[in-house]
Structure 1
Amino acid sequence: MLSKIKKEILKLLDLKEANFSMPPTSEMGDICFPTFEEAKKRGANPGGVAKELANNFKAQISNFKLIDKVESFGPYVNFFLNTAELSKLVLENIDENFGNNNIGKGKKVLIEYPSQNTHKEFHIGHFRNVCIGNTILQVYRASGYNITPMNYVNDFGRHVVKCLWGIMNSSLLGIQSLEIETAENKQKILGEIYAKASNYLKEHDKEYDEELDDLQKKLESGEEEITKLFLETRKWSIDGFVELMQEMKVEHDSIIYESEVKAQGQELVDELLSKKIAEVGEGGAIIVDLNKYKLDIALLRKSTGGGVYMTSDLALSEEKFQRYDVEESINITGSEQDFYFKQLFKVLELNGFHKKMTHIGYGLINTSNGGKMSSRAGNVILYEDLRDKIFEHLEKETRSRHEDWSEEKVRETSYILTMAVLKFTMQKHEANKVVTFDFEEAVSFDGFSAPYILYTVARINSLKRKFVQENFALVEKDFALFTEDEVKNLVLKISDFPEVVIKSLENYNSSIIAKYCFDLAKIYNDFYNKHSVLNAENEELVKVRLYLSIKVFEVLTKALGLLTIDVVSEM
């Protein structure tokens, strides 16, 4: 919306471009731009140019209803918008497509997430990956892209070997075989076995290395007994993942397993050797020397002949483009893999693979004592454990607030709030930031939190219910009644939504959407606390303020939808 206003301003002033921004205070206007570049072109003083441009606009202001006045302030030209005209322009253009754009029309993009490992627990680091992936996917769809959401499951790495070894040697870990067979949550017990096996093997240094190498070879060669155990335990993991993905509203079009591309990856390593892109390194490992690109040494194959992550990822990268015919592939992983992906993309480039590949790295989740989580160390915060803890707290809170509610309504509302808390907290900070999960802050009904935002939505829902009961008609709206600064601030924030979506798209940044949701809720509450809606001075003012509230509801609900956050009707 504002972009159209800015274009009209430039047209009236006969300028090709200007760096528009928001003035620091409303007393200085609603939008402004500096004249440094224009003054440089003219060889003139910026302050003088600003004054000249302001005067030129004043001479034509009668042709521009959206601008009440224009002033120069030093080197800046400041514009004051007409609240009534702005409200009419913005609010009457809000429909189900508001915020959508056609930037990606006709373009196909693949988003790979969360790329979790089988035979490990699903912790909140994985969940942050899911949240970011879900939002990036929704933002791309809102921008007209044809999206293929895909999951790459690492079911063949060293972690699998350690877990299988742990099952075969469960007595060494203090785990009874019956305990494994009868476990209700088999995915969870696999994670426990992996953590205990990793710690046990670490304590015994290299004592079991040969045994693990032998197990790895048997797994890769398809030895019957090991393959049977592998497939059975992999199914435990996958069944658990499917259930969790449904809960998190993840819909993958396809899943590729590492075991499917491992052999193809080995062939690519041989190809790189034959082209002399790769070489035999110290000890017999296959490497690519990337030092001249300041990317160190990339390991493609172990000296034992076994594959590594890059072995499979080389094949996966090519497979994604061949199978899905996309223009771009986006990978979402922890930011500790940033360097690895630079190496991977460079090796692919050296081999003549020139497709658009993007890596989005996100910061890890710290435990409450500030320590880094590790599946090997067994100090991860499991997603299901945190979800249940938040649900228990919010269920108690909801029940105390609404003693008259049915048990079903209490639990349903508490569950929606729980998922909102989890999803919002994982995305309220930029992806590359490390997050320490603060429980009290996350579940608070005040501040930068999901409950605060959802309470705002519920508040507007309450207004709508009361208004319908009064049987008013929302047909005629007198926008001239809008004179308050709080209204203008609110309408301006609403008008930002389409550009917020584009900014999130261009920066692969879901936190921009989360921040917008909070800002819009806060500005609405500022308006609501100062200006009564249902008890306004007259019926016409009630109608137009409620209309504004409903439009806030629509935009806020859509923005939350991009975060895959549902709303509640009451809180």
Structure 2
Amino acid sequence: MDYKNSLAKEVALIIGKKESEIIELFEIPKDESMGDFAFPCFTLARDLRKSPQEIATMIADEFVRSKLSEIAKVEAINAYVNFTIEDKNLIKKELNKILSAKKIIEKTEKKTTTLIESPSPNTNKPLHLGHLRNMLLGASIANMQKAIGKDAKIVNLINDRGVHICKSMLAYQKSGEKETPEKAKIKSDHFVGNYYVEFNKLGAKSEAKKNMLEEEAQEMLVKWEKGDTEIHKLWEKMNKWALDGFEETYKKIGFKIEKNYYESQVYQGGKEIILKGLKEKVFEQDDTGAIFVDLTSKKLDKKILLRANGTSVYITQDINLANIRHEEYKFDELIYVVGNEQEYHFKVLFEIYKLLGWNFGEKCKHFSYGMVELPDGKMKSREGNVIDTDELIEQVTELAKTAVKERFKELKSKEIEKRAKTIALGAIKFFFLKNDPLKNFVFDPKESLSFEGETGPYIQYSHARICSILRKAKYDDSKVKSYDANLLSREGDKKLVKLMSKFQEVVERSARELKPNHVCNYLISLAQAFNTYYSKHKIIQEDKKVQEARLTLIAALKKILAEGLDLIGIEAPEKM
């Protein structure tokens, strides 16, 4: 039984409101003595022309308990109505619901289409830690949106053209044209990235050299846009190397993309829209010939849309791409997962949509996030630079391998490798996602791998521990067994079940607010609650009826841990 919905229906009848208008007002009291659900009456005072205290008393007096026999007590306290659910009913119905469901999270939203743009890499270097945070946020938000019923799809923009791409190409032309990733024995996107670094090294020799190289890169871009055959051959070769490398990394972290879009295929359409906008006086042209949009009235200054030499900028393709995506998907929401350094870009972009009369612009949202930092001097690449996604995974996996060897000395090397990969990815993903997306954070590899505290391995270990208990008891949790819910009458039992009952609400909140950290915090609370329960209550014991009831309780908890970890892209191992 969904108690929140049932309570909302009854309260709505009493006060003459729609259920949908009041359901979000219900709260879970922090103090257990205040009941299982609380309904605040403050916002109703104006409409009902009564004080919040009077409304609370009215609801409590008129609440028809006979219709909801599961409710043990209804009480008005100041401006709140507190509802207490019968222990036996709460426990049995919650556990049965969890164990019988294929998926615990119910689809409560309409099947609207949400596009999530992630991670939008440039094909001149490997995926950095900002891209990793981007992908983990994008994938978890997509998972949560799908879980509650939305049709969420990850779409990717490959920034595969522009002067930054030409810089890698130019350096390759000058210093490595006969080299390949295979010959150099380097992952292909890293190979391309090395030439971007090489371009900067060449330019560092002198200011004159730097200016000359910058000019050559701009000339190469103009040639590319004019369709120069040799330049395009080189571009295709180096882009393929970069894209093949990205695919390896996506596979490594389990990141799946619905559709890739390429800047090279959409920028021309963006130029046409801008030129048309210039004719229609939506945009303006300065003395140099550059086309810009004047948003000074919106306190966004003037923004160049096409350079004086006719080449495009990032925003050029974004303008066309949103239009293409809307034609293809008729999306209800388009979420751009992009770092907070691009906030100005998206404010300008959304204003341009309005100026062009595109109503779907109101459905677009910038999901901004902060930077990932590393402990000073602790994590460097082989070249001595700040490490990227592949190198981070490699280094954390090595640390995990050492930890697994120390804890489980009897394991064979193949099993050590397998567990280390599972733990390392769980550690990285959880550490990245447990932080508020808007905030910068420092990734500490050793802290992330701890089997204690607020970490992925701690939750994975808690899941594996429950699996071990169930195996030892030969308990089959694939179907609901007969058990006596009256034997789960201790405060610890109810506390655990009440926490489990919040899963749906937490996932809905995470999906709504675009904050996977709510699910992370919830999983930590659940794992901590289980370990506290396990330390105080004997599960495998002589009294088989009590044992069966407690095994049922932890089997349900295990299922939530597994589904919760899956939402944030983490494997729930049965053994650690």
Using the alignment, how far apart are the partners of 1:266 and 1:538 within structure 2? 76
The partner residue of 1:145 within 128, 146, 150 is 150
Q: Which residue does 1:357 correspond to in 2? A: 364
Q: Which residue does 1:84 correspond to in 2? A: 88
Q: Which residue does 1:10 correspond to in 2? A: 11
**Within the alignment, does 1:528 sit opposite 2:544 as a pair?**
no
Q: Which residue does 1:101 correspond to in 2? A: 107
1:517-556 equivalence runs, <5 A: 517-535=523-541, 538-556=543-561
What letter is aligned with 1:367? L
Q: Which moved more, 1:307-316 or 1:12-21?
A: 12-21
Task: Check conservation: 2:75, 2:83, Cα contact below 8 A.
Answer: yes
Task: Check conservation: 2:157, 2:260, Cα contact below 8 A.
Answer: yes
What letter is aligned with 1:294? K
Task: Check conservation: 1:68, 1:82, Cα contact below 8 A.
Answer: yes
The structure-2 alpha-carbon separation of the partners of 1:270 and 1:532, relative to structure 1 and needing over 3 Å to count, comes to: same
**How far does the alpha carbon of each residue in 1:334-393 deviate from its partner, in whole angstroms, 9 at most, with x for none?**
12112201211211221122212222112121232499x9xxx99542111111111111
Q: Which residue does 2:418 correspond to in 1? A: 412
What letter is aligned with 1:381? I
The structure-2 alpha-carbon separation of the partners of 1:78 and 1:328, relative to structure 1 and needing over 3 Å to count, comes to: closer
The structure-2 alpha-carbon separation of the partners of 1:178 and 1:72, relative to structure 1 and needing over 3 Å to count, comes to: closer
What letter is aligned with 2:117? E
Q: Which residue does 1:36 correspond to in 2? A: 42
What letter is aligned with 2:69? K
The structure-2 alpha-carbon separation of the partners of 1:505 and 1:42, relative to structure 1 and needing over 3 Å to count, comes to: closer
The structure-2 alpha-carbon separation of the partners of 1:348 and 1:70, relative to structure 1 and needing over 3 Å to count, comes to: closer
The partner residue of 1:249 within 249, 254, 261 is 254
Using the alignment, how far apart are the partners of 2:483 and 2:196 within structure 1? 64
Using the alignment, how far apart are the partners of 1:147 and 1:76 within structure 2? 37
The structure-2 alpha-carbon separation of the partners of 1:187 and 1:519, relative to structure 1 and needing over 3 Å to count, comes to: same
The partner residue of 1:75 within 74, 79, 104 is 79
Structure 2 residue matching 1:92: 3-state secondary structure: helix
TM-score of the two chains, using structure 1 as the length reference: 0.90
1:324-363 equivalence runs, <5 A: 324-355=329-360, 356-363=363-370
**Within the alignment, does 1:563 sit opposite 2:568 as a pair?**
yes
Q: Which residue does 1:431 correspond to in 2? A: 437
Structure 2 residue matching 1:532: 3-state secondary structure: coil
1:254-273 equivalence runs, <5 A: 254-273=259-278
Task: Check conservation: 2:181, 2:188, Cα contact below 8 A.
Answer: no
The partner residue of 2:193 within 191, 194, 206 is 191
**How far does the alpha carbon of each residue in 1:68-91 deviate from its partner, in whole angstroms, 9 at most, with x for none?**
334443333333332211012211
RMSD: 2.8
The structure-2 alpha-carbon separation of the partners of 1:282 and 1:381, relative to structure 1 and needing over 3 Å to count, comes to: farther
Structure 1 residue matching 2:474: 3-state secondary structure: helix
Q: Which residue does 2:509 correspond to in 1? A: 503
Task: Check conservation: 2:96, 2:480, Cα contact below 8 A.
Answer: no
Q: Provide structure 1 residue ranges, at least 5 long, that are not aligned to the other structure.
A: none
Q: Provide structure 2 residue ranges, at least 5 long, that are not aligned to the other structure.
A: none
**Within the alignment, does 1:289 sit opposite 2:294 as a pair?**
yes
The structure-2 alpha-carbon separation of the partners of 1:325 and 1:403, relative to structure 1 and needing over 3 Å to count, comes to: same
The structure-2 alpha-carbon separation of the partners of 1:179 and 1:475, relative to structure 1 and needing over 3 Å to count, comes to: closer
The structure-2 alpha-carbon separation of the partners of 1:34 and 1:7, relative to structure 1 and needing over 3 Å to count, comes to: closer
Structure 2 residue matching 1:288: 3-state secondary structure: strand
**How far does the alpha carbon of each residue in 1:495-536 deviate from its partner, in whole angstroms, 9 at most, with x for none?**
22222222222222222222222222222222222212113x
What letter is aligned with 1:4? N
Using the alignment, how far apart are the partners of 1:343 and 1:419 within structure 2? 37
**Within the alignment, does 1:117 sit opposite 2:122 as a pair?**
yes
Using the alignment, how far apart are the partners of 1:79 and 1:167 within structure 2? 70
Q: Which residue does 2:408 correspond to in 1? A: 402
Task: Check conservation: 1:367, 1:381, Cα contact below 8 A.
Answer: no
Using the alignment, how far apart are the partners of 1:334 and 1:476 within structure 2? 51
Using the alignment, how far apart are the partners of 1:456 and 1:478 within structure 2? 25
Task: Check conservation: 1:2, 1:496, Cα contact below 8 A.
Answer: no
Structure 1 residue matching 2:219: 3-state secondary structure: helix
The structure-2 alpha-carbon separation of the partners of 1:178 and 1:553, relative to structure 1 and needing over 3 Å to count, comes to: closer
1:99-248 equivalence runs, <5 A: 99-105=105-111, 107-170=112-175, 181-198=183-200, 200-201=202-203, 204=207, 206-248=211-253
The structure-2 alpha-carbon separation of the partners of 1:312 and 1:52, relative to structure 1 and needing over 3 Å to count, comes to: closer
Using the alignment, how far apart are the partners of 1:279 and 1:229 within structure 2? 35
Shift of residue 403 of structure 1?
1.9
Task: Check conservation: 1:135, 1:510, Cα contact below 8 A.
Answer: yes
The number of residue pairs the alignment matches comes to 559
Q: Which moved more, 1:512-521 or 1:361-370?
A: 361-370
What letter is aligned with 1:77? V
Using the alignment, how far apart are the partners of 1:194 and 1:378 within structure 2? 16
Using the alignment, how far apart are the partners of 1:108 and 1:40 within structure 2? 37
Shift of residue 6 of structure 1?
2.7
Using the alignment, how far apart are the partners of 2:421 and 2:502 within structure 1? 30
**Within the alignment, does 1:66 sit opposite 2:73 as a pair?**
no
**Within the alignment, does 1:24 sit opposite 2:30 as a pair?**
yes
Using the alignment, how far apart are the partners of 1:370 and 1:292 within structure 2? 46
TM-score of the two chains, using structure 2 as the length reference: 0.90
What letter is aligned with 2:290? A
**How far does the alpha carbon of each residue in 1:221-263 deviate from its partner, in whole angstroms, 9 at most, with x for none?**
2222222221111111011111111222222232111111122
Shift of residue 50 of structure 1?
4.1
Task: Check conservation: 1:196, 1:378, Cα contact below 8 A.
Answer: no
Using the alignment, how far apart are the partners of 1:529 and 1:9 within structure 2? 40
What letter is aligned with 2:340? S
Using the alignment, how far apart are the partners of 2:57 and 2:359 within structure 1? 51
The structure-2 alpha-carbon separation of the partners of 1:47 and 1:268, relative to structure 1 and needing over 3 Å to count, comes to: closer
Using the alignment, how far apart are the partners of 2:53 and 2:110 within structure 1? 41
What letter is aligned with 2:403? E
Shift of residue 207 of structure 1?
3.9
1:479-490 equivalence runs, <5 A: 479-490=485-496
Structure 2 residue matching 1:381: 3-state secondary structure: coil
The structure-2 alpha-carbon separation of the partners of 1:349 and 1:199, relative to structure 1 and needing over 3 Å to count, comes to: farther
Task: Check conservation: 1:112, 1:332, Cα contact below 8 A.
Answer: yes
Shift of residue 289 of structure 1?
0.3
Task: Check conservation: 1:460, 1:550, Cα contact below 8 A.
Answer: yes
Shift of residue 552 of structure 1?
0.8
Q: Matched residues, percent identical?
A: 30
What letter is aligned with 2:184? T
Using the alignment, how far apart are the partners of 2:346 and 2:525 within structure 1? 35
**How far does the alpha carbon of each residue in 1:461-488 deviate from its partner, in whole angstroms, 9 at most, with x for none?**
01110111799x9632111122222222
